[in-house]
Structure 1
Amino acid sequence: MSTRTPTAAVPAVPAAHAPSTAATVRRASWPAVVALGLGIFTLVTSEFLPASLLSPIAAELAITEGTAGQLVTATSLIGIVAGPLVVSSLPRLDRRWVMAGLTSLAIISNVLVAVAPTFGLMLASRLLLGLALSGFWAMSLAVTAQLVPADRLGRAMTIVNGGVSLATIAAVPAGAWFGEQFGWRAVFLGAAAAGVVTLAAQLATLPSVPPSGAPGFRALVQTARTPVVALGILAIVLIAGGHFMGFTYLRPAFESIDGLNPSLLALLLLVFGVASFVGNVVAGPLADRRLQVLVIAAPVAIGAATVVFALGGAHLGVAIVTVFVWGSGFGAVPTMVQTWMAKVAPDRLESAGGLVVSAFQIAITIGAAVGGLLVDSVGVQAAFIGGGIAAVLGACVLSSARRR
């Protein structure tokens, strides 16, 4: 499998914008990579907090819990356009200040949510968080690529994406506990305080990072139209969409397990979260050394696990094993696809990062919608089997695109 991209596929860029201009930045920047991971952790934690606080929020604002749940939906929907928007609208600004500005925007969002007297203001404040989160994640690939040598990019993205895994495990239970102790508004103030600590870490460790790749909206469109990148986006939608076809409906699937009780349900969710973290840790070295193996292994793990769970998940032992394999596979996906994009579009990292974020948000929307149709028309098993097939198809597309 060749690691070179034909020059006709991705237009050349001026040397002033190429990643090589940051050679002086790459020398000793692991603390800055950790600061980026801390930023992702803080932002994703903030995104998930309402899920653990829906009841008290709904009670205080006199709305339904379903309405309160739109505080989570809003951040995902704006993410479809926010990542590319941030990349294309700030073509020449030092990326150190872009990342710091996005973190500051998240701090403002959490403070506004904490003091908002109405649901409308809370919803608008969450849109700010969606902009901050998607923009930060979109920029993280290009910024990280300038902080470490090219042959350590996979490991560095593991650290950055580790923030997602840790937030997935910790955000909901921590939010619920602190909400019970201090009230839901205090939880968002605490998230804002965590954002201040994150901002300080970024300002202390991030060096000046020049833009990477040709600037502006035109470069974004050119990158999206590159055949190998377009196939990569399709693969991401298939893999992540397949995952969310099943993952969105884990609760009704779990309820079919013999002898399941609330404690065992919590255990299975914890197993998935821990497995996701393990998968992310393993993905880094594999992405640097055996990317072609990871491109197949991670999606196939998702596909095989979801299908086996659908066919035999009524037994607790089978459920635990398949959930662990599933979580491990999906935990590897963000680092896998970001490293893959860095290989096929090395002079369009910022545009590629924005497109990856959009692809993930589209996958969440499509996967949940298609899964819901299958659950209602056929049954929850059909959603899991369909999701598994989609993930494996995504692996085939991604592998064949790279060979091209």
Structure 2
Amino acid sequence: MTDSSHEDRPQQSESAWSAVVSLALGVFSLVMSEFLPASLLTPMAHSLQVSEGQAGQAVTVTALVALVAGLLVTSATRGLDRRYVLQAFSIILIAANLIVYFSPGLGWLLFGRVLLGVALGGFWALSVATAMRLVREQDVPRALSLIFTGVPIATISAAALGSFLGDMLGWRNVFLIATGLAVMTLVVQVLTLPSMPPQRPTPLRTLVDVLARPGIGMGIFAAMLVFCGHFAFFTYVRPFLEQISGAGIQSISTTLLAFGLANFTGTLLAGRWLEHHLRLTLLTMPLTMGIIAWLLVTLGGFSLWTDALMITLWGLAFGAVPVAWSTWLTRVVADEAESAGGLLGASIQLSIAAGAAVGGVLFDAQGVLGTFAFSGTLLLLVAFLIATRVRTQPVPPVGHTDGIHP
């Protein structure tokens, strides 16, 4: 049987951009729902009569379940049409938000967030492989950049609109609005997603087989380190602005908004750049972010304007990172993009937790500058790792040198 990496690719004029937009809506709905509790923590805790720390587990449990779901979804749904699997995740998202809306206590709240983790991890695992089947091969980077624009838009919406609407309408109604967005996403997916039968069986051992390919494990590890360095930095941006830059709440809000807009711009622009400069992008983004972190460590506090500018530039650089690593995946493991996507998604979820946790330990021990120094050092080291060890050419299965399956 021949390599299936190009099976089901659209013909020259058949890139299904409306279906790609439906995936972007899915990303937006899922990521916004994931981070809403961060902006609604205090009213949620008071309403449910629990501590803010307990309510905060609504984010933690979602990330942990998403990690596991991302690894298992490919093999668990290996006989199902991908159109229906993606639509099922939107239905699960709707159910999850409704359970949170009606939750009488912490237990029901966490159950709803567990369901969200299933939808989130599963959707991320399939999104890259789905994009490969919806557009022409040369359009994949642009399709991924469009899909990933849902992330910064959702992050900004969860932080800004979440807190504003929560104060005006109550936190439960914010989740009801999120449910409405999920319903809209489902409708668009039903109208636009074409039939996508599974290309071939993907048993659970495929995860191990993919990692066994030369350079794949190193690439996944490098991606995880980049995301870890980012979240160690971004989690503690506000304390840096407060303690080092001397910023007030208005300046902090303006800087974070600028960061989000720059992040959106970087994501949107990454598609065309990655069509011809994949390795350069993989290398340049963490290198730039590492330099910015060390500039803030050494020069931070000299001027609020320059601090805000460097944080905004970080957002621009990081905007290209998720698109770049997803594009890398489509180049090096095109024939097993679903399994590789699950591995990449799980590594990112793990890096979110690890980056925030290690950054927190360093923050308590050495302050925010210690956390930023760790982030900058890690990113500079991973840039060297990418330059010397990460492959960007297709990697055939172990035992095959021509990409042809027997």
Task: Output the TM-score relative to the length of structure 2.
Answer: 0.92
Residue type of the partner of 1:401? V
Q: Does 1:398 align with 2:389?
A: no
1:228 counterpart residue number:
215
Please list the CA deviations of residues 37-90 of structure 1 after superposition, one character each: whole Å capped at 9, or x if unmatched.
Answer: 011001111111111111111111111112111111111111221111111211
Please list the CA deviations of residues 303-323 of structure 1 after superposition, one character each: whole Å capped at 9, or x if unmatched.
Answer: 111111122221212211210
Q: Does 1:88 align with 2:85?
A: no
2:322 counterpart residue number:
334
Gaps of 5+ in 2: 394-406
> Would the aligned equivalents of 2:12 and 2:136 in 1 still touch at CA under 8 Å?
no
1:33 counterpart residue number:
20
1:104 counterpart residue number:
91
Q: Does 1:136 align with 2:123?
A: yes
Cα gap change, 1:147/1:204 in structure 2, threshold over 3 Å: closer, same or farther?
same
Q: Does 1:161 align with 2:125?
A: no
2:404 counterpart residue number:
none
Q: Distance in 2 between matches of 1:357 and 1:403?
A: 19
Match among 243, 252, 260 for residue 256 of structure 1: 243
Q: Distance in 1 between matches of 2:73 and 2:32?
A: 21
1:348 partner SS: helix
Q: Distance in 1 between matches of 2:23 and 2:2?
A: 26
How much has 1:16 moved relative to structure 2?
8.5
Q: Distance in 1 between matches of 2:315 and 2:165?
A: 27
> Would the aligned equivalents of 1:236 and 1:363 in 2 still touch at CA under 8 Å?
no
Per mean C-alpha deviation after superposition, the further-off stretch among 211-220 and 191-200 is 211-220
How much has 1:360 moved relative to structure 2?
0.5
Per mean C-alpha deviation after superposition, the further-off stretch among 18-27 and 248-257 is 18-27
Residue type of the partner of 1:350? E
2:397 counterpart residue number:
none
Q: Distance in 1 between matches of 2:361 and 2:12?
A: 49
Residue type of the partner of 1:72? V
Superposed, 1:47-86 pairs within 5 Å as: 47-86=34-73
> Would the aligned equivalents of 2:67 and 2:345 in 1 still touch at CA under 8 Å?
yes
* Residue identity (%): 40
Q: Distance in 2 between matches of 1:347 and 1:258?
A: 48
Q: Distance in 2 between matches of 1:311 and 1:81?
A: 39
Equivalent residue pairs, number:
391
Q: Distance in 1 between matches of 2:24 and 2:332?
A: 24
Deviating runs (4+, > 6 A) in structure 1? none
> Would the aligned equivalents of 1:228 and 1:401 in 2 still touch at CA under 8 Å?
yes
Match among 368, 379, 388 for residue 367 of structure 2: 379
Residue type of the partner of 1:62? Q
Q: Distance in 2 between matches of 1:403 and 1:206?
A: 30
Match among 340, 347, 350 for residue 359 of structure 1: 347
Gaps of 5+ in 1: 1-13
Match among 253, 260, 278 for residue 265 of structure 2: 278
1:47 partner SS: helix
Residue type of the partner of 1:358? A
Cα gap change, 1:374/1:367 in structure 2, threshold over 3 Å: closer, same or farther?
same
2:398 counterpart residue number:
none
How much has 1:256 moved relative to structure 2?
2.1
Per mean C-alpha deviation after superposition, the further-off stretch among 313-322 and 100-109 is 313-322
Residue type of the partner of 1:327? G
How much has 1:393 moved relative to structure 2?
2.2
2:296 partner SS: helix
1:8 counterpart residue number:
none
1:148 counterpart residue number:
135
Cα gap change, 1:209/1:19 in structure 2, threshold over 3 Å: closer, same or farther?
farther
1:304 counterpart residue number:
291
Cα gap change, 1:403/1:339 in structure 2, threshold over 3 Å: closer, same or farther?
closer
1:397 partner SS: helix
Task: Output the TM-score relative to the length of structure 1.
Answer: 0.93
User: How large is the RMSD of aligned CA atoms in angstroms?
Assistant: 1.7
Per mean C-alpha deviation after superposition, the further-off stretch among 284-293 and 157-166 is 284-293
2:134 partner SS: coil
> Would the aligned equivalents of 2:41 and 2:55 in 1 still touch at CA under 8 Å?
yes
2:215 partner SS: helix
